[in-house]
Structure 1
Amino acid sequence: MITPPRRFALPRWSELWEAREVAYRFAQRDILLRYRQTAIGIAWVILQPLASAGIFSIVFGQVANLGSDGIPYFVFSYMGMLAWNLFNNVLGRAAPSLVSNQTLVSKVFFPRMLVPLSSAASVLLDFFVGLVLGVILLVLYGINPGWAVVLLPIWIVLTLLLASGLGLVASALQVKYRDIGYMLPWITQILLYASPVAYAVSEVPAKLRPLFDANPLTWMLGLFRWSLLGAAAPPGWQVAGFAAVAVGLFYVGAIFFQSWERTFADVI
Structure 2
Amino acid sequence: MNNQDIASQQELVIEAGRTERQYWKDLWRYRELLYFLSWRDILVRYKQTAIGISWALIRPFLTMLVLTLVFGKLAKLSSGGAPYPILVFAGLLPWQFFSNALSECSNSLIINTNLISKVYFPRLIVPVSAVVVSFVDFMISGMILLGLMAWYNFVPSWRILTLPLFISIAFAASIGIGLWLAALNVEYRDFRYIVPFLVQFGIYISPVGFSSSIVPEQWRLLYSVNPMVCVIDGFRWAILGGESTLYWPGFTLSVVLVALSFVSGIWYFRKMEKTFADVI
| TM-score over 0.5 for the pair | yes
| Structure 1 residue corresponding to 2:102, chosen from 87, 91, 112 | 91
Give distance in 2, aligned partners of 1:115 and 1:255. 16
Relative to structure 1, is the Cα distance of residues 93 and 112 closer, same or farther in structure 2, using a 3 angstrom cutoff?
A: same
Give distance in 2, aligned partners of 1:56 and 1:129. 20
Relative to structure 1, is the Cα distance of residues 78 and 216 closer, same or farther in structure 2, using a 3 angstrom cutoff?
A: same
Which has the larger displacement, 157-166 or 65-74? 65-74
* Alpha-carbon distance, 1:240 to partner: 4.1
* Alpha-carbon distance, 1:96 to partner: 0.2
Give 1:140's aligned residue. Answer: 151
Give 1:234's aligned residue. Answer: 246
Is 2:136 aligned against 1:122? no
Which residues of structure 1 form unaligned runs of 5+? none
Give 1:3's aligned residue. Answer: 17
Give 1:246's aligned residue. Answer: 258
Is 2:37 aligned against 1:26? yes
Is 2:127 aligned against 1:113? no
Give the partner amino acid of 2:279. Answer: V
* Alpha-carbon distance, 1:71 to partner: 1.8
Give 2:201's aligned residue. Answer: 190
| Conservation of the 8 A alpha-carbon contact between 1:5 and 1:258 | no
Give 2:27's aligned residue. Answer: 16
| Conservation of the 8 A alpha-carbon contact between 1:11 and 1:254 | no
Give 1:74's aligned residue. Answer: 85
* Aligned alpha-carbon RMSD (Å): 2.0
What percentage of aligned pairs have identical amino acids?
36
Give distance in 2, aligned partners of 1:80 and 1:256. 30
Relative to structure 1, is the Cα distance of residues 11 and 115 closer, same or farther in structure 2, using a 3 angstrom cutoff?
A: farther
Give distance in 2, aligned partners of 1:168 and 1:257. 6
Give distance in 2, aligned partners of 1:129 and 1:249. 27
| Conservation of the 8 A alpha-carbon contact between 2:61 and 2:144 | no
- SS of residue in 2 equivalent to 1:95: helix
* Alpha-carbon distance, 1:84 to partner: 0.4
| Conservation of the 8 A alpha-carbon contact between 2:72 and 2:78 | yes
Cα deviation digits, residues 112-137 of structure 1 (max 9, x gap):
11000011222111111111221121
Instruction: Tell me which of the two structures has the higher relative contact order, counting C-alpha pairs closer than 8 angstroms and 6 or more residues apart.
Output: 1
Relative to structure 1, is the Cα distance of residues 251 and 12 closer, same or farther in structure 2, using a 3 angstrom cutoff?
A: farther
Which has the larger displacement, 223-232 or 30-39? 223-232
- SS of residue in 2 equivalent to 1:144: coil
* Alpha-carbon distance, 1:193 to partner: 0.6
Give distance in 2, aligned partners of 1:5 and 1:63. 60
Give 2:5's aligned residue. Answer: none
Give distance in 2, aligned partners of 1:235 and 1:185. 29
Give distance in 2, aligned partners of 1:148 and 1:207. 28
| Structure 2 residue corresponding to 1:175, chosen from 186, 202, 206 | 186
* Alpha-carbon distance, 1:36 to partner: 1.6
| Conservation of the 8 A alpha-carbon contact between 1:5 and 1:261 | no
Cα deviation digits, residues 194-243 of structure 1 (max 9, x gap):
11111111222445434323332111111011112225241444454444
Give distance in 2, aligned partners of 1:238 and 1:131. 26
Give distance in 1, aligned partners of 2:161 and 2:217. 32
Give the partner amino acid of 2:204. Answer: Y
| Structure 2 residue corresponding to 1:263, chosen from 255, 275, 278 | 275
Give the partner amino acid of 2:17. Answer: T
Give 1:214's aligned residue. Answer: 225
* Alpha-carbon distance, 1:180 to partner: 0.4
- SS of residue in 2 equivalent to 1:96: helix
* Alpha-carbon distance, 1:12 to partner: 3.2
Greater C-alpha radius of gyration: 2
Which has the larger displacement, 206-215 or 121-130? 206-215
Give distance in 2, aligned partners of 1:143 and 1:24. 36
| Conservation of the 8 A alpha-carbon contact between 2:224 and 2:251 | no
Give distance in 2, aligned partners of 1:32 and 1:2. 30
